[in-house]
Copies of this chain bind each other. A is one copy, B any other.
Amino acid sequence: MHELATYIKLFFPVAEDELAAIAGQFRPLEFAKGDYFLKQGRYCDRLAFITSGLIRLYREVDGKEVTQWISSKGYFVTDLASFVFQTPGRWNIQALTDCTLYSIDRTAYQNLNQTIPKWQELDKLFVAKCFVMLEERIFSHLHMTAEERYHRLLADSPELFNQVPLQYLASMIGMTPETLSRLRSKQLKG
């Protein structure tokens, strides 16, 4: 549990008693490689914090899996639209490796909102931070080439290249596996 508290403290100052009250609402949760946290179309009624492992968000389009994002230690994971607005889930959310999480369900989450004012603010700041990350990610698609996006991912998250099938990374940055493969070999030679 302390890992979530540590992470929150790094992000935003919260009094110890509030921190304990918040963290106390999260329950440990384990996933084995291949397990689904959410299947597309079902309602997502939980939000989880990852303490170890990798989790992939993807959606099927024309029979192909398109990977939206891969979350690792220190990230929260949920289908935000489904969790917050109670709409059908838009993503498949699957463990790429065995994972340890701390999870909170909708009800407990809403209780936090009412009982701990600081949580409201914290929660808003988390979402705002994620919003800003997505803005930058969109921007990268507006002006960068596939090669530039590859180099950025490599710079930002080099660890993913050892741990995640490259085809998922290719999809996540908007190119085919073949293109990613060629960019990699080009880098080795160049």
Contact = CB atoms under 8 A, between A and B. Distances in A.
Nearest to A135: B134
Contacts of A141: 138, 141, 174
A174 B80 contact: no
Contacts of A117: 117, 120
**Oligomeric state, in number of copies?**
2
A170 B80 CA distance: 29
Nearest to A131: B131
B137 A138 contact: yes
A68 B142 contact: yes
A90 B134 CA distance: 13
Nearest to A67: B142
A56 to B, nearest CB: 13
Contacts of A25: none
A84 interface: yes
A124 B127 CA distance: 8
A98 interface: no
Most-contacted residue by chain B among A85, A141, A172 (CB, 10 A): A141
A125 B131 CA distance: 12
Contact of A59 (B80, B124, B139): B139
Interface in A46-101: 59, 61, 64, 66-68, 80-81, 84-85, 90
Interface of A: 59, 61, 64, 66-68, 80-81, 84-85, 90, 113, 117, 120-121, 123-125, 127-132, 134-139, 141-143, 171-172, 174
5 contacts: A59-B139, A66-B142, A81-B132, A137-B138, A138-B138
